[in-house]
Structure 1
């Protein structure tokens, strides 16, 4: 029988590159890939990398590298061809759903992964984006959450955890990230052909957000470790999953070093969420399906309001009238650029508003 797409031989160079990648820095294009029907399939581009800037998308199929077909190559061989001297160009031929094949030229660079980015949305929502699960991810996430909690000065209403286009990474980091938001219960289990080789990971007491509502953003580029986090928090009803269905990589790879000869990467088990769902080839279905949309500003005609009419009835308790009769105030509204994030923010603020009313 043939090996699955994630099992392969790693040359000594590829083995060293893989070890460097999990530490958060490596050379190449900046994409996580797998094999599908003989082609290289993009799982997701990594933020702020040459592949991301070139416009590569999750689901793209790479059919040629510098006009040479990829069919017949192993995944490791294809990855090795995509790596090269920093500053050198590589032409990719892309097949994308709904389009004719097209070429993209990408310039190789050193890929430094800043796996955690964060900011306040308004003054009440913490936004934390995790781009991959490397060795420093959990520490970076905890620093970000604690800093944003301080910045919000007690006004924090919720957290958006953005796992879109996150291809995964280290299992232990996905377990620790999940554990940070859970007080108890199973996080993930693995099952292999031998029953005695399965593993089960459980949460320890302590929730870094102290029970604040969480929305997790996912899409087709959210894979592996991202799906573990989304699945665990969804099964425990600790977070609302919003976006589109995830990639569906639910298999465990074990790296077996070979003395002086690289390593073998073998698929040895599958991941299962706390409720027993297999992620493999199915992914995580969001609780709220929201496709990403490009929002464009719609021109609004000028409208007169009651306050603009001459001779109107005044409202003695309505405050000062700052607008002269007949004048229409116009404000520039930039509008949200990220529709899925906008929906997540609305949802969290709605939950906070409903909760406040319910306790009054």
Structure 2
């Protein structure tokens, strides 16, 4: 059993495909845009002639490009130089820095999630935190790429972050020592009762084959037949589309995994099972997929595919809701556009844009002492200014339904700590597998 070689270009962040921008395509401009281009050029001339200080052309052109892209959606952008290099390093998941997934939210740098095992997580940073200052310098209203560039640096060097955490009265400072972020994309552990836990922390290169190897290792470690498996996709901000397809294909032997549909004919692509991996691993083994508000993009592709095919019970909290595809369009040798070109859909034809993946069993992370306070400020795709709207026009109450309290979950974090439970969602998933017969949970037909 081997993985087929993937010949499609690597996709980044949330399905960023690499395709060339043709000269002919770039030359086609709607004739009706002529007057608007005249306004743009006139504005340029007025600034060059009358602004209080001399402004170089590069600054003005870059500002015009950034303005055009920011008017579209939160995920389109212009990349050059170090920005483009940083995007490329995400393929390998290896760089020096803090290990954070961040986004600009109304001028503020907001943490989507710290990567598990990263310096940021070890320092106690959490999803939903706002970074207001770096080394005492205010970064609110600045450029996200500039803030990210400042947070990266040589391993072993410290940086002081000022944090505002919703639910707390006062901001506080945290000093984080940068490290080489050699994220372990996949980690695994065998729990009591021959139940395996495989955590996928990001979708960088070879995640599919890494999960395959991890499961083989669990089988060897188990004292008998595997009786259950937890696939943990919590706080996984996404990554390679190809790896999301490969991971899904591990657990499916027929049917669609995901489809992407764009305005252009060439942007409509279907991804089916049996295209990367033949057969199923863990066939007949009950499977639970854990997700939360930090599970985005590629994580949602996997959760949606396994849920729609009834191969897994999805458990946890509503996912982030990022259902768009970004394509990297080269402009010059060292610059490119990261442009939203398509939406992706689960096998059942559902777009996760805005709404995300709804768990089959909603389980709050009761181990988090700040859960109730931070839940009011939880960031999802639907909260981002300029986000794409779901074609089904979801009502706000539908997007927020997962925030309703469940009377089954009443234990406090302190009570759980006394019982030795520091990860309630994982604990609940393991208990579910232990008390459920193998024939009743998430078995492939």
Shorter-chain TM band:
0.7 to 0.9
Aligned partners of 2:415, 2:111: CA distance in 1, in Å? 32
- Mean Cα displacement is larger for which, 162-171 or 258-267? 258-267
Question: Deviations along 1:282-333, whole A, 9 cap, x unmatched?
Answer: 211111111112355689xxxxxxxxxxxxxxxxxxxxxxxxxxxxxxxxx9
Aligned partners of 2:220, 2:251: CA distance in 1, in Å? 18
Question: What are the equivalent positions in structure 2 for 1:223-262 lying under 5 Å apart?
Answer: 223-262=296-335
Give yes or no for the alignment of 1:38 onto 2:107: yes
Give yes or no for the alignment of 1:105 onto 2:178: no
Aligned partners of 1:165, 1:298: CA distance in 2, in Å? 21
2:244 is paired with a residue whose SS is helix
Q: CA deviation at 1:195?
A: 4.4
Aligned partners of 2:262, 2:440: CA distance in 1, in Å? 44
Q: Unaligned stretches of 5+ in structure 1? A: 300-332
Match of 1:182 among 242, 248, 252: 252
Question: Deviations along 1:21-50, whole A, 9 cap, x unmatched?
Answer: 211211111011122212222121011111
CA contact (8 A) 1:5 1:75 kept: no
Residue 38 to residue 52, structure 1, CA distance change in 2 (3 Å): same
Equivalent residue, structure 2, for 1:168: 238
Number of residues of Structure 1 aligned to a counterpart in Structure 2: 323
Structure number with higher helix proportion: 2
Give yes or no for the alignment of 1:4 onto 2:84: no
Aligned partners of 1:3, 1:90: CA distance in 2, in Å? 33
Equivalent residue, structure 1, for 2:138: 69
> Runs in 1 of length 4+ with deviation above 4 angstroms?
295-299, 353-356
Match of 1:339 among 424, 435, 438: 424
Q: CA deviation at 1:77?
A: 2.5
Question: Deviations along 1:152-196, whole A, 9 cap, x unmatched?
Answer: 254211110011111111010011101110111111111222344
Aligned partners of 1:297, 1:281: CA distance in 2, in Å? 34
CA RMSD of aligned residues (A): 2.3
Aligned partners of 1:224, 1:196: CA distance in 2, in Å? 21
Equivalent residue, structure 1, for 2:43: none
1:56 is paired with a residue whose SS is coil
CA contact (8 A) 1:169 1:225 kept: yes
Aligned partners of 2:146, 2:337: CA distance in 1, in Å? 14
Q: CA deviation at 1:266?
A: 1.4
Aligned partners of 2:151, 2:422: CA distance in 1, in Å? 32
Residue 298 to residue 339, structure 1, CA distance change in 2 (3 Å): closer
What is the TM-score of this pair, normalised by structure 2? 0.68
Match of 2:87 among 14, 18, 23: 18
Question: What are the equivalent positions in structure 2 for 1:66-145 lying under 5 Å apart?
Answer: 66-100=135-169, 101-145=171-215
1:138 is paired with a residue whose SS is helix
1:35 is paired with a residue whose SS is strand
Equivalent residue, structure 2, for 1:288: 361
Aligned partners of 2:162, 2:74: CA distance in 1, in Å? 20
Aligned partners of 2:78, 2:134: CA distance in 1, in Å? 20
Q: CA deviation at 1:11?
A: 2.5
- Mean Cα displacement is larger for which, 134-143 or 78-87? 78-87
What is the TM-score of this pair, normalised by structure 1? 0.83
Question: Deviations along 1:317-352, whole A, 9 cap, x unmatched?
Answer: xxxxxxxxxxxxxxxx96433211111112112222
Instruction: Tell me: higher relative CO, structure 1 or 2? Use CA pairs within 8 A at least 6 residues apart.
Output: 2
- Mean Cα displacement is larger for which, 196-205 or 168-177? 196-205
Aligned partners of 1:288, 1:150: CA distance in 2, in Å? 30
